[in-house]
Amino acid sequence: MSCLQRQERPKPSQGHHHAASRKVIQMNVKLLGMEGDTDLQFLLQGGDLLKVRSQSWKKTRYFRLQEDCKTMWHESKKPFRSNPTFSLDDVSALRLGRQSEGLKKYTEEQVDGRCFSIVFKSRRKNLDLIASSDEEAKQWVNSMEKIIANLNNLNRQEKTEHWIMACLMKADKNKDAKLSESEVKDFMRLINVDVDDDYTDMLFKKCDTSKSGYLSGKEIKNLYDLLTDREEIDVIYGEYAKTTGYMNPSNLVDFLLTEQREKASLTDAHQIIDKYEPDETVKAKKLLSKDGFLMYLHSPQSLILNVDHRDIYQDMTLPLNHYFISSSHNTYLMEDQLKGPSSTEAYVRALLKSCRCVELDCWDGSDNEPVIYHGYTLTSKILFKDVIKAIKDYAFKASDYPVILSLEHHCSVEQQQVMAHHMSSILGSALVTKPLGEGMPETFPSPEELRGKFLIKGKRLNKLESYFTQEADEDTDVTEEEESDNDEEVEEKEKTPKKKLKLAKELSDMVIYCKSVHFNGFEDARNNLSFYEMSSFKEGKAKRLASESANAYVRHNVNKLSRIYPAGSRTDSSNYNPVSLWNAGCQIVALNFQTTCEDMDVNQGRFLVNGKTGYILKPSFLRDPATDFDPITLTRGEWLKHKTFHVMIISGQQLPKISKKKSSIVDAMVKVEIHGVPADVATKETNVVENNGFNPSWNENFQFDVYVPELALVRFVVEDHDSTSGNEFVAQYTLPFNSLQMGYRHIPLLNKTGDVLPSAGLFVHVMVLDA
């Protein structure tokens, strides 16, 4: 393998652009607060790295940070690839060493210290790279991590400035730090606004105070101020700024009490002024300017999500079955379940999204090493032991709470023994292999008691009680898991005897709290099953039970765990709507995490709160053994807390372009959806604002009736209206109804893959009243 030498190459912007580039860099460096930072300088200078794609494809490429201080450019030898870049906003993680599948497969152990991987938030493949030394690899990783942290720490206003600066730089074709009228028109398109020539002409003349025919310096700043002026903020601020055009602490308290429905004191007001007022002179007078007010409205504590619900706020000491548990199906798949790749990376991504129940489809492999893949298909195979290592490394990075390994095995007894050995040796004492506490338990331990632990869900040869009585095993045959059946649920199939499977004692003994059993009806479960014996239901059967026997299902889930999984006919790894199953109290509602869709948005919204632990406490009426709750008929009971939800969709900010075409501009509209019990399900939508994704304004009011707020979720969806081919998804945000904050609130927006769009948002007014 060639040894790489770090060398400085001419930057693409050198020559007559150099001074302008330097000026842009200085502005962005200042915005990031990284003047004189050696890590930033290292990235701006750039250097050679060996890019690894396969055993035979290892090529040297030059990488460097661009002038916007957030886009990495790298050399490409492809003739038509003019802009091979990626944004640091799109980086999910940087991993030092041979941690990715590619580097493990295509490099030797001796280069471990020189290797690193860049992992992306989207489906984009990892970038696997090798530096010329261990120190340099560390420098690349540390430098990028530092800049990503600084970018993440920018407040909303600063992110907007940074984004607009990048658009200005792109529009300035000849890099002379000036904008001609045609460049202003390009700039408007880049920021997602399409305006006619007359408007551009008027805007240009208004800003071109020097009458020079181009904008520079302060004139560009004036253009920026004109475009980012928020009329709706002026109106709100003007109503409360009673002290010579400023808000004093008392005015601010009035705003917080009257509009935001927050408990607030003068002490709170002083703290807000100290934290958010950018003008030191104004701050010294204990006043809040309009800029400070806007910065406060963009702060995390002012967003639509209740600030107290961001952290763990629920009781985590109740039995495990009293929680909804974030769960994944076919976790090993990166794409579809017919021919898509299997990867340990898929487990990493799910676990980093706080998924707490992952699935492992295990089959006999060569050299007595079990493999994981989707049986009888063309999906690729990965080693069982590699998956267990990846799970061990990433299980508790996003959440400390227990991870359930849902085993679906089709292995011989010999390879089951190998599975048991790998889990025992790799997971060590974190693996629960005996009941907690003294004596036979009567109920599940709590998530708190199981912190940092792994539970195995699978078949067991005998009852858990035999652990204490030392009874002989009942049988070495058990019924094979029904998930291995790839066909749609068919009633006749239920009657046919299941295939028998030999089970290794070593693997059986690892199943403590999640013993898989076949479901033979609610009465049988009530009379014959212990609390730790749980059933898996195909989505079709689960949905039938949830609609036809809802209360019986709710009561079943008070004492037992239920796992739901997608129908085998979903060969494209599509998902089903999980809401009706949560309404029936089902805890482990498993979705295909690799598939982006509305159902995954709703799942992410459900688990957005409680510190993103992957555990959400079920409402009390889903935990009461004598509950009469039925989400379908909705009789009277503690669950009925009829609320009227008023929401005004005021405006949007910096919505992303859907198409990369320069001429493509978003025709923005917003849908507000309620997901919950059938009586609460509703959707309302705004009118369309044409040709403006930069600062569309709607000012439209909607009203909803919500009867069971504890199970309801609210989803805000932005779409690009198209009357001919159907609307296109732009962005969304979903949160539990009971986590809404009232008053004037900004809503952050997420892209298709559930990642935050740095500058984009909606501005709304929310009011929830007792009906």
Q: How far from the centroid of its chain's Cα atoms is residue 310's Cα?
A: 14
Mean pLDDT of 506-511: 96
* Residue-level pLDDT at 629: 97
Per residue in 92-115, pLDDT (tens digit) is 889 999 988 889 889 999 999 999
For the chain, the structural domain boundaries read 18-153, 157-228, 231-302, 320-468+476-481+502-622, 643-770
The CATH number of 231-302, from 3.40.50.2300, 3.20.20.100, 3.60.15.10, 1.10.238.10, is 1.10.238.10
Q: Which has the higher per-residue pLDDT, 31 or 400?
A: 400
The Cα–Cα gap between 531 and 519 comes to 13
Above 50 in pLDDT, residue 327?
yes
The type of residue at 48 is: D
Q: What are phi and psi of 621, to 5 degrees?
A: -75, -10
Whether residue 126 contacts residue 100, with contact meaning beta carbons closer than 8 Å, is answered with: yes
Q: Strands 743-750, 697-706: parallel, antiparallel or unpaired by DSSP?
A: unpaired
| Token pair 């020189």 in the structure block, residue | 114
Q: Which CATH class is domain 643-770?
A: mainly beta
What's the pLDDT band for 20 if we cut at 50, 70, 90? Answer: low
Question: DSSP per residue over 52-101, as a string?
Answer: E-SSS-EEEEEEEE-TTSSEEEE----TT----EEEGGGEEEEEESS-SH
How many other C-beta atoms are found inside a 10 Å radius of the C-beta of residue 286?
A: 15
534 beta partners: 516
Q: Return the percentage of the chain with pLDDT > 70, whole number.
A: 92
How many other C-beta atoms are found inside a 10 Å radius of the C-beta of residue 462?
A: 17
List 17, 309, 329, 409, catalytic entry? 329
* Residue-level pLDDT at 116: 97
The Cα–Cα gap between 396 and 614 comes to 11
Q: Which residues contact 207 (CB under 8 A, 6 or more apart)?
A: 215, 219, 220, 222, 223, 226
Active-site residue, 18 included: no
Q: Which has the higher per-residue pLDDT, 166 or 180?
A: 180
List 298, 309, 322, 374, catalytic entry? 374
To the question of domain 18-153 being in CATH 3.40.50.670, the answer is no
**Residue 685: which H helix or E strand, with range?**
strand 682-685
The Cα–Cα gap between 692 and 189 comes to 9
* Residue-level pLDDT at 549: 96
Whether residue 302 contacts residue 746, with contact meaning beta carbons closer than 8 Å, is answered with: yes
Do 643-770 and 157-228 have the same topology in CATH?
A: no
Per residue in 603-616, pLDDT (tens digit) is 999 999 999 999 99
The Cα–Cα gap between 184 and 178 comes to 10
Above 50 in pLDDT, residue 29?
yes
Give me the numbers of helices (H) and strands (E) for the chain, helices first please: 24, 31
Least confident window among 351-355, 621-625, 693-697: 693-697
Above 50 in pLDDT, residue 492?
no
* Residue-level pLDDT at 538: 95
563 beta partners: 536, 588
Above 50 in pLDDT, residue 421?
yes
* Residue-level pLDDT at 419: 97
Q: In the numeric block, which tokens belong to residue 190?
A: 């880049």
How many other C-beta atoms are found inside a 10 Å radius of the C-beta of residue 410?
A: 18
Active-site residue, 374 included: yes
Q: Return the percentage of the chain with pLDDT > 90, whole number.
A: 64
Above 60 in pLDDT, residue 408?
yes
Q: Which has the higher per-residue pLDDT, 192 or 590?
A: 590
Q: At what angle do helices 197-207 and 181-190 cross, to 10 degrees?
A: 110
432-441 long-range contacts, Cβ below 8 Å, gap at least 24?
432/456, 432/512, 432/513, 433/509, 433/510, 433/512, 434/467, 434/512, 435/464, 435/467, 435/512, 435/513, 439/468, 440/464, 440/465, 440/467, 440/468, 441/532
412 by DSSP, 3-state: which? Answer: coil
| Token pair 């903020």 in the structure block, residue | 233
Annotated binding-site residues for Ca(2+) read: 330, 359, 361, 408, 665, 667, 691, 720, 722
Could you tell me where the beta strands, DSSP code E, fall in 465-556? Answer: 477-479, 500-502, 514-516, 533-538
Per residue in 740-767, pLDDT (tens digit) is 999 999 999 999 989 998 889 999 999 9
Annotated binding-site residues for substrate read: 51-78, 457, 459, 536, 563
Above 60 in pLDDT, residue 728?
yes
Question: DSSP per residue over 338-376, as a string?
Answer: TTPPB-HHHHHHHHHTT--EEEEEEE--GGG--EES-TT
Question: Which residue, 280, 367, 319, is CA-closest to 615?
Answer: 319
The Cα–Cα gap between 448 and 188 comes to 52
The Cα–Cα gap between 537 and 482 comes to 9
The Cα–Cα gap between 680 and 168 comes to 45
Q: Which CATH class is domain 157-228?
A: mainly alpha
Annotated binding-site residues read: 51-78, 330, 359, 361, 408, 457, 459, 536, 563, 665, 667, 691, 720, 722
For residue 131, what are the CA distances in angstroms to 50, 113, 321?
A: 7, 9, 48
Q: What are phi and psi of 425, to 5 degrees?
A: -75, -35
Q: Which CATH class is domain 320-468+476-481+502-622?
A: alpha beta
Mean pLDDT of 523-540: 96
How many other C-beta atoms are found inside a 10 Å radius of the C-beta of residue 722?
A: 12
> Cα(first)–Cα(last) distance of the chain, in Å?
71
564 by DSSP, 3-state: which? Answer: strand
Q: What are phi and psi of 273, to 5 degrees?
A: -60, -45
Q: Where do runs of H (alpha helix) occur along 298-434? A: 344-352, 384-394, 413-427
The Cα–Cα gap between 480 and 725 comes to 46
What's the pLDDT band for 694 if we cut at 50, 70, 90? Answer: confident
Above 60 in pLDDT, residue 302?
yes
Q: At what angle do helices 290-297 and 266-276 cross, to 10 degrees?
A: 100
For residue 565, what are the CA distances in angstroms to 395, 578, 638?
A: 21, 10, 30
Whether residue 656 contacts residue 757, with contact meaning beta carbons closer than 8 Å, is answered with: yes
Least confident window among 14-28, 415-429, 569-583, 688-702: 14-28
696 by DSSP, 3-state: which? Answer: coil
Q: At what angle do helices 156-171 and 290-297 cross, to 10 degrees?
A: 100
Per residue in 481-491, pLDDT (tens digit) is 444 343 343 44
Q: Rounded mean pLDDT of the chain? A: 88
